[in-house]
């Protein structure tokens, strides 16, 4: 499963690298755009994974609540 | 001869009896038996001796006047003064007492009190010997006459209160000079029976003489020795025998004894139901409490920290996203600025910048037009002036001069 939360750390580390790269003033416009796109894709993927975690946590809470009522 | 009506006959009897001089204000001696105090305060009893019995009544006013309240007891030997009265409506005759002189105690009374004192001294009636009745007996041994009313009364009560209770009847005579020891053996047999967990011993109402066998020493001892709880059920409420004192519980009547012995099944079921509900509610309450606690712990220790982590990560991602946007914006602004500088620089070097207003530089096919020799009608010229350029088609060529 590509959307597995297991991939989060890998993607997050990649995102950190991308953001660090932005400090490099010598980056060409072309390289910068590529990096920017890459970064936004990673942000989107990481957010989606977090959204999944959030939904799963909410589901678990609901299950626990149903059990306790 | 004409027949009397019943009313006429009774009136004649009344006149005869009440008019008889011998029966006016006469005195009669005997033993009080079956004494009853009516709720109105009037006393009713029988006066008996070896030769006969007669119903007597003493009105409340006379009882109070003579100070006899509470003094009239079964077995008392008395001299009664009063008048014969005949009640026409029922055809019954009774002796209306004016005064009673309590004389010597009867033999029965003396024997009863002597035995009672002796057994009392021996501790037969002590509270510490009383056993508690089983809350729900399964088999009741009834020591009584199988042909008497007692067993019917008891079975009747049982059928209403708890039809599941079983009975064993120990058939004994309940009247007569030899009955006492036989009843004693019946009680012992009931006590020895492993099925029996409660004993009722008794008989219906009767005179003191009828109930006398329940004062028998053998019977009192037999009841005293019982390991099974014993309920006595002898005669009516006013009748007391030694059997009542030695038994664990006294029933005022056989029906009352049955009520004391048999707990109503409906009440029992209700109690069991209530207990069940109580247990159920307690357990439910406990489970709910634990669940809530668990939920609260889960929330505090797991859910909230987990959500916090997720939110922290989200914030970091937002910051990264912002950094990405600002980086590209900054870069693009930088480049724009550089471009603008270059444009200015280029503009400064633009030959057209030197073109004076009103003058133009004319190109033909990308090269400056220097002579009309090279231009023909229909050619397209590019005319550059200070603030722009114009494309024009040649319509006419004229040589100067």
Number of domains in chain A: 1
Residue B312 neighbours by CB under 8 Å, 6+ apart:
none
Residue of B307, B317, B335 to mutate when probing chain A, most A C-beta within 10 A? B317
Residue B324 neighbours by CB under 8 Å, 6+ apart:
A18, A19, A22, A36, A39, A40, A43
Q: Is B361 helix (H, G, I), strand (E, B) or coil?
A: strand
- Whichever domain contains A45, its CATH number is 1.10.287
Residue B116 to residues B110, B208, B248, Cα–Cα distance (Å): 10, 15, 16
Q: Of all helices (H) and strands (E), which one includes residue B47?
A: strand B43-49
Q: Of all helices (H) and strands (E), which one includes residue B373?
A: none
Residue B305 to residues B286, B300, B379, B385, Cα–Cα distance (Å): 28, 7, 81, 72
- In whole angstroms, what is the distance from residue A29 CA to residue A37 CA? 12
ipTM above 0.90, yes or no: no
pLDDT 10s digits, B157-203: 999 999 999 999 999 999 888 899 999 999 999 999 999 999 999 99
pTM tops 0.90, yes or no: no
Among candidates B153, B155, B202, which has minimal Cα distance to B174?
B202
The alpha carbon of residue A51 and the mean position of all alpha carbons in its chain are separated, in whole angstroms, by 9
Q: Are B174 and B219 in contact (CB under 8 A)?
A: no
Interface list for A 4-63 with B (CB within 8 A): 12, 15-16, 18-19, 22, 27, 29, 32-33, 36, 39-40, 43, 46-47, 50, 53-54, 57, 60-61
Q: Which residues of chain B have pLDDT under 70?
A: 1, 104, 350-357, 401
Q: Which domain holds residue A16?
A: 1-68
pLDDT of residue B140: 95
Half-sphere exposure of residue A60, counting CA atoms within 13 Å on the CB side? Answer: 14
pLDDT of residue B170: 95
pLDDT of residue B188: 95
pLDDT of residue B45: 94
Per-residue pLDDT, averaged over A42-66, amounts to: 83
pLDDT of residue A2: 47
CA angle in degrees (0–180, nearest 5) for A8-A10-A11: 65
pLDDT 10s digits, B335-356: 889 888 888 887 777 666 666 6
- Closest partner residue to B295 (CB to CB) among A12, A43, A65 is A65
Among candidates B25, B229, B225, which has minimal Cα distance to B122?
B225
């Amino acid at each position: 499963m590509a959307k597995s939360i297991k991939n989060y750390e890998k993607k997050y580390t990649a995102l950190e690298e991308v953001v660090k790269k932005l400090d490099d003033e010598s980056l060409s416009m072309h390289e910068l755009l590529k990096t920017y796109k890459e970064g936004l894709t990673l942000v989107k993927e990481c957010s989606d994974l977090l959204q999944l975690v959030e939904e799963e946590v909410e589901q678990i809470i609901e299950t626990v609540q149903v059990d306790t009522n | 001869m004409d027949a009397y009506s019943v009313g006429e006959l009774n009136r004649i009897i009344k006149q005869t009896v009440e008019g008889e001089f011998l029966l006016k204000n006469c005195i009669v001696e005997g033993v009080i038996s079956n004494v009853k105090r009516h709720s109105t305060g009037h006393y009713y009893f029988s006066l008996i001796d070896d030769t006969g019995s007669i119903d007597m009544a003493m009105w409340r006013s006379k009882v109070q006047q003579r100070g006899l309240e509470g003094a009239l007891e079964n077995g008392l030997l008395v001299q009664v003064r009063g008048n014969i009265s005949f009640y026409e409506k029922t055809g019954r005759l009774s002796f209306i007492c004016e005064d009673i002189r309590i004389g010597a105690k009867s033999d029965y009374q003396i024997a009863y009190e002597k035995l009672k004192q002796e057994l009392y001294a021996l501790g037969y009636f002590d509270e510490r010997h009383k056993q508690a009745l089983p809350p729900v007996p399964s088999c009741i041994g009834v020591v009584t006459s199988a042909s008497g009313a007692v067993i019917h009364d008891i079975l009747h009560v049982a059928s209403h209160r708890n039809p599941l209770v079983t009975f064993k009847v120990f058939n004994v005579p309940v009247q007569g000079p030899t009955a006492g020891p036989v009843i004693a053996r019946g009680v012992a047999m009931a006590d020895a029976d492993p099925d029996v967990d409660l004993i009722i011993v008794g008989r219906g109402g009767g005179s003191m003489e009828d109930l006398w066998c329940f004062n028998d020493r053998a019977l009192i001892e037999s009841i005293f020795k019982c390991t099974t709880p014993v309920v006595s059920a002898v005669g009516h409420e006013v009748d007391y025998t030694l059997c009542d004192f030695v038994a664990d519980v006294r029933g005022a009547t056989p029906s009352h004894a049955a009520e004391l012995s048999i707990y109503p099944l409906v009440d029992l079921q209700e109690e069991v139901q209530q207990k069940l509900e109580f247990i159920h509610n307690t357990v439910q309450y406990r489970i709910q409490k634990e669940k809530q606690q668990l939920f609260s712990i889960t929330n505090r220790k797991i859910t909230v920290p987990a959500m916090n982590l997720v939110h922290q990560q989200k914030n970091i991602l937002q910051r990264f996203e912002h950094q990405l946007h600002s980086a590209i914006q900054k870069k693009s602004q930088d480049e724009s600025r550089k471009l603008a500088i270059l444009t200015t620089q280029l503009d400064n070097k633009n030959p057209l910048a030197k073109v004076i207003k009103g003058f133009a530089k004319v190109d033909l096919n990308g090269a400056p037009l220097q002579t009309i020799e090279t231009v023909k009608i229909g050619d397209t010229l590019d005319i550059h002036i200070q603030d722009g350029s114009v494309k024009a088609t040649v319509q006419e060529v004229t040589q100067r001069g």
